[in-house]
Structure 1
Amino acid sequence: MAEVVPPSKRACERCGRMDVWDESQGKWVVAEADGREQTGTPHCLHEWDINGSYNPLRDDA
């Protein structure tokens, strides 16, 4: 049976904002790199890099 596996990180293709999934909070949070939050542009309509090339199914056959 196939299992749906959601993404654990995402990045905006327009402004560079990077988010990671926080399982304990149950939501996306801004990622940190080199001690700085990767917030991108506050007013950007984010275009996340999760597209048709991402395969959400894991086949444990």
Structure 2
Amino acid sequence: MISLGIPEDDISPDATREEAGLDSIAVVELALVLRREKGLAVTEEEIGAAATVADVAALVASR
């Protein structure tokens, strides 16, 4: 499990990235963690293009 310090109860699938606390710094950190710890080729640009938490999850699941 990856933790960026955002309480799980505060996140819903339809929340925007910003509502979930995924600002530009968190997007970079998430992409780095996904590459280093999970071996997933996900770029900051791809995460940044995702509109909602569900979109980010779908992106990760597709890899």
State the TM bucket, normalised to the shorter chain: under 0.3
Higher fraction of strand: 1
Report the TM-score when normalising by structure 2. 0.21
Report the TM-score when normalising by structure 1. 0.21
Structure with max Cα Rg: 1
Higher fraction of helix: 2
